Amino acid sequence: MITEYDIEYHPQTGDEKNFQAMVARQQPGYWSWNKFYRSSYGKAYHARIIRPTFNKRSRISLSVDKAPEGYSFPPPIDPPLKATLNEERKQFFLYCLNRLRKDVGNRHLYLLDTSDKSILNLKDTADNRRWVLREFGEDNKQSVSFIDFESFVRNTPDGRKFYLDYDDHWSAAGHAAAGAMLWKKMSIKE
């Protein structure tokens, strides 16, 4: 099944009004009950305690699998022969990757997975998006290189140091490690 995807932005009715409201909310002098609630511990308490109690999806997203002693995250699996990501999601992902590859022209494309902690806290599976990136890199070896940052973090004792404590973004150590992996891959390529 070949599907044509369109990832261009198409404004909807009311988008301009919503954008202006968002800009107004970001101003230092703006005040509302909603802003007060979201910046208080009430919102965090609702998200971490109340919602998971009544919502199975929230409970699952906050679940954590046990990691081996001394490690922050469960170990990675051996790379599967084929990624088992949902076929429709995989096709869209491959469409985007092919489009990106065409956009860089004849230059080499380096793909680095940036898995967040919600993925890292769970056991590694074959339906992880990074395996699609790996397959894409294998299928296009001449023009694409895949760097498996997630497996590196899973194999590193105290892998949490690569992420900010209360955020899914990389810490300074994470950026340094990813940069070193990228530099090594680029040095080998040349």
The model's pLDDT over 13-38, given as tens digits with 9 standing for 90+, comes to 999 999 998 899 888 899 989 888 88
Task: Record the pTM.
Answer: 0.70
Are 67 and 153 within 8 A, CB to CB?
A: no
Token readout for 165 is 């404590």
pLDDT band at 1 (very low <50, low <70, confident <90, very high): low
DSSP-H helix ranges across 81-171? 87-103, 117-120, 129-139, 149-155
Asked if the model's pLDDT at residue 137 lies above 70, the reply is yes
Q: Which residue has the tokens 């494309």?
A: 109
Token readout for 23 is 């800009």
The model's pLDDT over 152-168, given as tens digits with 9 standing for 90+, comes to 999 999 999 999 887 78
Are 80 and 148 within 8 A, CB to CB?
A: no
Percent of the chain residues topping a pLDDT of 70: 96
**137: nearest Cα among 108, 111, 98, 107:** 111
Domain chopping of the chain, boundaries: 31-63, 87-189
pLDDT band at 3 (very low <50, low <70, confident <90, very high): low
Token readout for 82 is 């084929």
DSSP state of 71: B
pLDDT band at 190 (very low <50, low <70, confident <90, very high): low
- Provide the residue type at 23 as one letter: V
Token readout for 72 is 């922050």
